[in-house]
């Protein structure tokens, strides 16, 4: 068993392409049924325009904004080419930039879990991780500002509504963010194929920050140095490692069942 507190070290372009993390007020089109319904239900979103085909509009469970009935071709014309919008799109304000301290502040009388991503670049992976974070009750997903996708409509679609449920915090310096999490009482657990302990065998009591790196490259050296321990997810020899979003889902499930 570990004792004491965590130890810190001493020292395609289109209407969706907006940066919501630097204070811009540019509105963004959100598309896909789950993503739109979650945004409609989020009071932090200012709603501008809701468009839908007739059958989808009649099934929307919301009362904040009246849907404008359009056909699929007209909705296609509003969005980046080739997106799967499922017959509905919402023009809304970007979400306010979350603060790390507020988003990750531990809640009393429960285990708190955050997911930390070290330069995971694929918006579909980040979206899937947000979805798993929402499903298993994680407090936040934290990522680097550089080499991490912005919270655009494509990420919102991949997250299937989770972007409006789980704070997505982007930080300038990940090592410093890990130090802040330790000060909040989190144990930082990094995932590395070379780790001696498996996830199931590790002592993961208390509040946990799950730290995952980009596929292939893994965690950077400074990130590893900030982790209290490293773990791995055992796989069959024919498959050396899991996709990062699958690894996040497995880790979140393991913590939830424990």
- Residue 64 carries which DSSP code? S
Distances in Å between the alpha carbon of 64 and those of 37, 43, 45, 71, 75?
Answer: 11, 10, 11, 22, 20
Residue-level pLDDT at 21: 37
The 3-state secondary structure of 224-251, one letter per residue: HHHCCEEEECCCCCCCCCCCHHHHHHHH
Residue-level pLDDT at 230: 95
- Copy the structure tokens of residue 64: 């904040």
Domain with CATH 3.40.1280.10 in the chain: 100-257
Half-sphere exposure of 150 (CA within 13 A, CB side): 17
Q: In a 3-state reduction of DSSP, which class is residue 148?
A: coil
- Dihedral angle sign, alpha carbons of residues 90, 96, 99, 102: negative
Residue-level pLDDT at 109: 84
Find out whether 28 and 35 touch, Cβ atoms under 8 Å. Answer: no
Calpha distance 138→18 (Å, rounded): 26
The CA R_g of the chain, rounded to the nearest whole Å, is 19
Residue-level pLDDT at 55: 93
Residue-level pLDDT at 228: 95
Residue-level pLDDT at 11: 32
List the chain pLDDT tens, one digit each, 258 residues: 344 444 433 333 333 333 333 334 478 899 999 999 999 999 988 999 999 999 999 988 777 889 999 999 999 999 989 889 999 999 998 888 889 999 999 999 889 999 999 989 888 999 999 999 999 999 999 999 887 777 767 788 888 888 899 999 999 999 999 999 999 999 999 999 888 899 988 888 899 999 999 877 789 999 999 999 999 988 876 556 788 999 999 999 999 986
Residue-level pLDDT at 10: 32
Residue-level pLDDT at 88: 96
Find out whether 18 and 26 touch, Cβ atoms under 8 Å. Answer: yes
Q: In a 3-state reduction of DSSP, which class is residue 20?
A: coil
Residue-level pLDDT at 1: 38
Residue-level pLDDT at 61: 74
Calpha distance 182→189 (Å, rounded): 11
Distances in Å between the alpha carbon of 211 and those of 74, 112, 162, 199?
Answer: 42, 14, 19, 12
Find out whether 138 and 168 touch, Cβ atoms under 8 Å. Answer: no
Find out whether 91 and 48 touch, Cβ atoms under 8 Å. Answer: yes
What's the CATH code, domain 100-257?
3.40.1280.10
Residue-level pLDDT at 19: 35
Enclosing H/E stretch for 145: none
């Amino acid at each position: 068993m570990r004792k004491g507190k965590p130890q810190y070290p001493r020292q395609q372009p289109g209407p969706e392409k907006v940066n919501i993390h630097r204070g811009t007020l540019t509105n963004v089109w959100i598309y896909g049924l789950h993503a739109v319904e979650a945004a409609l239900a989020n009071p932090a979103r200012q709603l501008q325009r809701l468009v839908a085909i007739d059958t989808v509009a009649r099934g929307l469970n919301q009362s904040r904004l009246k849907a404008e009935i359009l056909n699929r071709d007209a909705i296609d014309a509003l969005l980046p080419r080739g997106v799967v919008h499922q017959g509905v799109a919402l023009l809304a304000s970007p979400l306010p930039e979350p603060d790390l301290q507020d988003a990750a502040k531990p809640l009393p009388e429960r285990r708190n879990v955050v997911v930390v991503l070290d330069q995971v670049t694929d918006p579909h992976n980040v979206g899937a991780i947000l979805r798993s974070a929402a499903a298993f009750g994680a407090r936040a997903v934290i990522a680097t500002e550089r080499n991490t996708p912005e919270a655009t409509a494509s990420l919102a679609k991949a997250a299937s509504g989770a972007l409006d449920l789980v704070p997505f915090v982007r930080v300038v310096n990940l090592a410093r963010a890990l130090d802040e999490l330790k000060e909040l009482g989190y144990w930082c657990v990094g995932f590395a194929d070379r780790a001696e302990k498996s996830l199931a065998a590790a002592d993961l009591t208390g509040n946990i920050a799950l730290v995952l790196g980009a596929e292939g490259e893994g965690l950077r050296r400074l990130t590893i140095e900030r982790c209290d321990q490293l773990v791995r997810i055992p796989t069959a020899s024919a498959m050396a490692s899991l996709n990062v979003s699958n690894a996040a889902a497995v880790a979140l499930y393991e913590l939830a069942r424990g």
